[in-house]
Structures are given as C-alpha cells and as structure tokens.
C-alpha cells in the first residue's frame, strides 16, 4: 500500500485528461499533468486555508518546484498567487503605479522612460529567476546607447522596482543592488555664458519679439519684454526654470522699503515651483533674493506689456497671478520657454544649442568669477550643499587660472636671483 502523507506535508497528484493510460501506476505517457500543492496555513480570520499550487509534465519537475517554494519560504518570502510567473516588467509596472504614489505625472513618466531600455532586455524574465548577470547585461546594452546619467537613473529605478516587489513578498533578493552601474555615452555637459555672451543675449532680448508655440495652430507673436524679463531675472538672481515659471506677482516687490531699518531692497520671494504640490526642490530653495536694477527695470516693462495683453484678451484672460504667462494669462509651458530662448540665442550670434537652465549655471559661474565664496553662491542658488554648486553648476570662465601665479609673485616678490 502507498504510504499516506503526513499532516502538513505537500501533496502531489496526477490530473488525468482523458484517453487511455499506458501506465496507470506511473502515468508515464498519459495525457495529463502533475500538480503539487503547498499549504501556507490559514488566512488571518482563520476562515480558509492558503495554498499555492505548481504544475509540471513530470512528478520530478513538480517536486523541484515545491522545493524552490520551500526555499523561498525559508528566506522569509511568502509566495503569493502568481508569484512564480511574476516578471520584471510586471514588477516595474506595479512600482510605477503604486510605489510612486503622490509623485507628479512627469516623475512617473521619466522613470518609465529610463526603465524601458532595461525592460526591453529582461522585462519578460521571471523576477524570481532574475540574476545579477541578467541585470549586468541589460545595463551594458543600455549603456551602449544612452548617457551615463540616464543609465544611472535606469539602474536606480530598477533597484527601487525590485525593492517594491520585495516588500510585497514577490522577490527573494534585490539582485540589481549587487551590480555596479556601467558608464554610458558622454552626455551633453551644461555650459555657462561668458560675460560677453550674456550681454549679447540680454541686448538682443530687449528688442526681439518672440513667438509663442501653439500645437496645431499658428504661433503667436509676443512682446520682446517677455523673454527680456525672463532672461534678466533668471541670469540676475539664478532662479531655476521651474521656479521662474511658477513665480507670482504677489512674490515680487519692485519697490522695496527704503525707509525701513534696515532698508528693504526690491526683491523676489522664491517660495514656489511647478513641481508637485508647488513645493520647491529643497528646503533651502525657499529663499528671498534682492533684485539687481536691470531685473527691476525689465520686470516693470514686462508688467506693463502683460497688462496690455490682459486688456486685449478681455473675458478670455485667465487670472493666474503668474509673472510669466501665455497671451491669455495661463502658465508658460517649458517647451515654449525653450523655443523662445533658442531664438534669442540664435539672433545674439551664440548659436541655438543653449537651454534656459544654463542661465542659472551662468549666474553661478559669473558669481564665482567675481570672487564670491562658494558657500554664499550655494545660499543664493538654494543648493542643499556646496558640492552641488561646485561640481554641477560652477564653470571656469577664464581660459587660464592665474590665482596661483599672482599669489606666488606677491609672496616671493621681484627677487632677481630666484628668476635667474
């Protein structure tokens, strides 16, 4: 007689699917399938037993699958329904849908975009079978066609997706965390305007009307004062593009309070951005900055031009209270700003390969060139640390760094025998 299985042991059975059975004792060659069942106890309310099932063409294959399930349980993983067939792509989709709750649609889309090249290689791989070698191969494939920064973002997104699966008992270990990020193709390094280039851009923007992009419609001509004010403000105080586009007139004081003690100069309060919930990038990004006189004059002129556009729009005007708006008062789109800025740069004779965010890089570099300390520049730019200011933003504008030679000449003086 067949030995009866013990209480709590796994069950293995053959599911017959009709037709003659050549070997009823072993079921070899019979039309059917072997199934195994593992018991995981009862549901929290004790009303039902929790089981996980596996299937295979042979009894040995089913035993191997049951052993694998037990190995996962020993690691602290509770196999859920569909666990064995759960793929890397499913893990990524679940993380994008649930793991980024509260994040902006732009953030979710960015993570989806950097994950896609990786998923094209290993997306159909079962997550429980994913190896560090698989991840390494996918990242190497991505590195061949993308910059190092994008590869790094993709690797980070994959690690976070698998960590999300771990938290839901759908992954054994995060193999993506065991792999180093490879270097990709050289990316486009941000640049800084020289003082001469900055003057050329400002001068051109003062008189050059710009065109507002309207998808599917004819572009609209806008006053030159729009981009002139945008450029002067961004370059003059180092605003982020997301801060400039979210800036409201209620946070701009073009008069100040000269009679106060101490006197309050014209200033701008950087308290909002176009990020989710209107928050600035970091806590230190919330700052109040004095305005240079050229920015005060440019903003006054643009305020007058905006008032004329408001009167022309009449009932179609959207009262958003924003400083930089479309001709109907709505927030300016980032693509519109990029297009208008490129046109100004082209007309200024410095080429069209510049982006609005490089106005901020130029602010940092010009401050550094004129002797402002790195700590003060970081405070003005709203950086969390000075390392961001120095490594990411500051660009050396001088072709030759002369500080060392000048100091040593002062130290040793015009000593003839040392120069011989």
Catalytically active residues, by annotation: 240, 281, 360, 383, 393
Task: Please give the helix or strand (H or E) that residue 227 lies within, else none.
Answer: helix 224-237
Task: Please give the helix or strand (H or E) that residue 66 lies within, else none.
Answer: helix 59-74
Q: Where does residue 157 rank: exposed (0-12), middle (13-18), buried (19+ CB within 10 A)? A: buried
Q: Tokens for 196?
A: 């001469």
Q: Tokens for 126?
A: 């079962």
Backbone φ, ψ for residue 289 (5° rounding): -120, 135
User: Strand order of the sheet with strand 49-56?
Assistant: 11-16, 32-42, 49-56
Cβ atoms of 339 and 211 within 8 Å: the answer is yes
Residue 287 DSSP one-character state: E
Cβ atoms of 247 and 270 within 8 Å: the answer is yes
Helix (H, G, I), strand (E, B) or coil at 389: helix
User: In sequence order, what are the residues at sequence separation of 6 or more whose Cβ sits closer than 8 angstroms to the Cβ of residue 12?
Assistant: 34, 35, 36, 37, 59, 62, 63, 66
DSSP class per residue in 365-384:
HHHHHTT--HHHHHHHHT-S
Q: Tokens for 2?
A: 């067949």
């Amino acid at each position: 007689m067949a030995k009866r299985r013990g209480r709590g042991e796994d069950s293995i059975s053959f599911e017959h699917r009709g037709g003659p059975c050549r070997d009823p004792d072993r079921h070899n060659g019979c039309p059917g399938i072997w199934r195994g069942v593992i018991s995981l106890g009862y549901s929290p309310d004790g009303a039902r037993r929790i089981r996980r099932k596996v299937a295979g063409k042979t009894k040995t294959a089913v035993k191997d699958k049951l052993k694998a399930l037990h190995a996962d349980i020993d690691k602290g993983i509770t196999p859920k329904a569909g666990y064995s067939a759960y793929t890397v792509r499913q893990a990524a989709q679940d993380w994008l849908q649930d793991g980024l709750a509260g994040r902006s649609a732009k953030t979710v889309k960015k993570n989806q975009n950097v994950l896609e090249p990786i998923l094209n290689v290993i997306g159909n791989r079962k997550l429980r079978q994913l190896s560090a070698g698989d991840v390494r191969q996918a990242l190497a494939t991505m590195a061949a066609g993308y910059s190092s920064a994008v590869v790094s973002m993709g690797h980070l997104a994959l690690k976070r997706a698998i960590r999300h699966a771990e938290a839901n008992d759908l992954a054994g270990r995060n193999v993506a965390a065991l792999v180093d990020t490879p270097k990709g193709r050289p990316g486009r390094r941000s640049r800084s305007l020289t003082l001469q280039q900055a003057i050329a851009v400002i001068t051109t923007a003062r008189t050059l009307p710009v065109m507002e992009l309207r998808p599917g419609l004819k572009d609209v001509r806008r006053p030159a004062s729009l981009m002139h004010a945008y450029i002067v403000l961004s370059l003059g105080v180092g605003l982020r593009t997301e801060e400039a586009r979210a800036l409201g007139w209620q946070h701009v004081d073009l008069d100040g309070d000269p009679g106060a003690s101490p006197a309050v100069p014209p200033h701008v309060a950087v308290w909002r951005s176009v990020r989710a919930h209107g928050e600035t990038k970091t806590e230190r990004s919330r700052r109040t900055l004095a305005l240079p006189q050229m920015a005060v004059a440019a903003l006054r002129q643009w305020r007058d031009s905006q008032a004329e556009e408001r009167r022309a729009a009449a009932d179609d005007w959207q009262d958003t209270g924003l400083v930089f708006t479309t001709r109907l008062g709505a927030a300016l789109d980032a693509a519109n700003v990029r297009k208008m800025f490129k046109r100004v740069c082209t007309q200024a004779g410095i080429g069209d390969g510049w982006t609005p965010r490089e106005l901020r890089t130029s602010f940092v570099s010009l401050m550094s060139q004129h002797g402002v300390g790195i700590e003060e520049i970081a405070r003005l730019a709203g950086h969390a640390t000075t390392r961001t200011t120095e490594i990411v933003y500051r660009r050396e504008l001088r072709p030759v760094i002369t500080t060392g030679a000048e100091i040593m000449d002062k130290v040793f003086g015009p000593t003839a025998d040392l120069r011989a």
